[in-house]
Amino acid sequence: MNKKRNWWFFTLILLIFLALLIFGIVYFLNGSTTQWNIDTLHNYALTGNLQNIHMVVSNNVVTISGYLISDDGAITQFSITIARDAYNLLLLEDWFASLNSLATVSDGSSTPLWLTLLSSFLPFIIMILIYVWIFRMMMKGGGMGGAGGIFGMSKNRARQTKSDVKFSDVAGISEEKAEIVELVDYLKNPSKYASAGARVPKGVLMEGPPGTGKTLLAKAVAGEANVPFFSIAGSEFEEMFVGLGASRVREMFADAKKTAPCIIFIDEIDAVGRKRSANMGSGTNEQTLNQLLVEMDGFGTNSGIIVMAATNRVDVLDSALLRPGRFDRTIQISLPDIREREAILRLHARNKKISPKVDWRRVAERTPGFSGAQLENVLNEAAILMVREKKPIISIQEIDEAIDRVVGGPAKKSRAMTAQDKDIVSYHEAGHALIGLKLDSASKVQKVTIIPRGNAGGYTIMTPKDESVFSSIQDLEASIAGYLGGRAAESIIFGDKNVTTGAHDDLDKATNIARRMVTQFGMSSLGMTKFITMQDDAYGKTTGAYSDETAAKIDAEIAKMLDRSYEIAKKIISEHRDTLELIAESLKILETITAEQIEFINKNKKLPQEVIDEKLKREERKEKEERGEILDFSPDENDDTDPTNNSEEKDK
């Protein structure tokens, strides 16, 4: 009611201002024009100093206007109004006839007075209407920052969400899902918990790598819980104005209290919940965080409101936000293991035409380290490949290709490789595979390919033999040796002077493992001192608070570890060079070999039958070409002797 009264008062003031403005403009225009009579016009017409003469002829009167330029340069605007009969008589006068020849004559009846006034004041009217509209929007939204304000900076940006995701659509994180199901059960049956003297957790924080299902769980809660569900991103609290984020937090909780019991979900809460700096209260982000802390657990009570949040940077959150009473539970959602990957694959395969011959266990073995989002993307890529190749169902070939596309991008089969490049890549990847076969603690080889993808000339997929939570010194050293197996194979086959740059990514990964063993895991001769804290590592720092002398010792220890693992790799490859040759030859012929074919080579010390068959086909084709029976000058995709390409292939 008060807003309506203010609106009418403002409208009245605006109308009075508009009337005064129009009156003033008309008065100014009329007051600056000198009114003449016929004699004055006659006298000045004879001097020839009149310019811009304009005559408006109507039915009854004629208006003559223009400017007088005096000898000293002064300009006077004049106007004279005469009757139509007098105007007709003046046309007989010689002086008026000469004046009339210089004038522009218009019909006054064609341009009404109201239209002339409207065209003059139209810009002012448009500006006033725009101002009135802006003011009404401001009044309606309670100010520029109000809900629906003209600049869209509403205080409460949380949206009430309706989701069609159910808990049955979430797989692979059964323990974490059970924790969330309990919250929904409390909201539906609060008396059951109240009788046991239990209170509902005020907040639940879900933490884990990207793509593991944090937001998906929140959507499932929204779909299952028959209560209002508000969702907002952490970045939506802050704008350019100081204090706006804190105001939005207050408004969000005020709206939530009206609909309690309810759930508030804050995605990427690290955007607003970062640790406070030494300059307390100096930044807008800290004001927003302080308000969030008070609303979650302050003097006021928020009964019936559960705050859920998701982040993959829990290490940067303020400790006051993580204490019990605010976020009572922290649910760790990690990357799925082999059993969970199998369950996720089966879930996402429900609405797709999959061949019954597909062994999901084997697919899960070939996707180590994949998140739930990546597994969903694998099956989506496989479905796209099925449509592209016009196949009725998705077979293991499409799934394998989809895995490769997710790992390294689309295959670049058109990229020509010289015979030398193909030899280098084949022996390099065979070196990785051989270390995985012969070193007990090394990862198991699932697939090896020399088909270029992205910047990689080839790559090897390896999975841990046992997906353990912990890694021993022996496991980590075996991983380093596995990464250095490609460089070791190049050195043994082509010589130390002919090793290539293909191992640059392998060296980066091996060095990173060795550095963490020395600086974080206490697995070196430097002792158990932790040189780089978890917080430093989270912020990407590779150096800690230690002296230059200690830094030199760390570098020396890393080099010692790499050299030791490299010698192990060279020793294994030298002792099993015959197996290396068989794997490399299989790669040069088939370009891609699987774990089954590698195991066959390792067990029987001979080429798999698929390699022998393909080798015979090539020999027969070559013989026919030599006899002239095949006249095909198109380049063969398996041709090893393309002399036109000297590009250097890089290992992944």
How many angstroms separate the CA atoms of 650 and 195, rounded? Answer: 66
Asked if 275 and 316 count as a contact pair (C-beta separation under 8 A), the reply is yes
Structure tokens at 11: 């409208």
The total number of residues shown for the chain amounts to 652
Q: Is 142 exposed, middle or buried (0-12, 13-18, 19+ CB in 10 A)?
A: middle
Single-letter residue type at 628: G
For 353, half-sphere exposure in the C-beta direction (CA atoms, 13 angstrom radius) is 10
Bridge partners of 76? 68
């990229």: which residue's tokens?
415
């009075």: which residue's tokens?
16
How many angstroms separate the CA atoms of 339 and 172, rounded? Answer: 8
């002339």: which residue's tokens?
116
Structure tokens at 390: 């016009």
Each residue of 170-186: b (16+ CB within 10 Å) or e?
A: bbbbeebbeebbebbeb
Please state, in angstroms and as integers, the Cα–Cα distance from residue 196 to each residue in 192, 410, 498, 584, following that order.
Answer: 7, 57, 74, 67
Strands (E), 510-610: 592-594
Q: Rounded to the nearest 10 degrees, how much is the dihedral formed by the CA atoms of 70, 71, 74, 80?
A: 0
DSSP result, 73-130? S-EEEEEEEEEHHHHHHHTTSHHHHHHHHHSEEEEGGGS-HHHHHHHHHHHHHHHHHH
Helix, strand, or coil here: 394? strand
Given the residues 365, 429, 477, 490, the one annotated as active site: 429
Q: Residue 490: CB partners within 8 Å, gap ≥ 6?
A: 424, 427, 428, 431, 498, 499, 500, 502, 503
Alpha helices, H only, 366-395: 372-388
Q: Residue 223: CB partners within 8 Å, gap ≥ 6?
A: 163, 164, 165, 166
Q: Is 429 a catalytic residue?
A: yes
How many angstroms separate the CA atoms of 173 and 207, rounded? Answer: 13
Single-letter residue type at 534: M
Structure tokens at 270: 């690290």
Each residue of 234-249: b (16+ CB within 10 Å) or e?
A: bebbbbeeeebbbbbb
Single-letter residue type at 563: D
Structure tokens at 339: 């059993």
Asked if 432 and 486 count as a contact pair (C-beta separation under 8 A), the reply is yes
Asked if 649 and 457 count as a contact pair (C-beta separation under 8 A), the reply is yes
Instruction: Supply the residues annotated as catalytic.
Output: 429
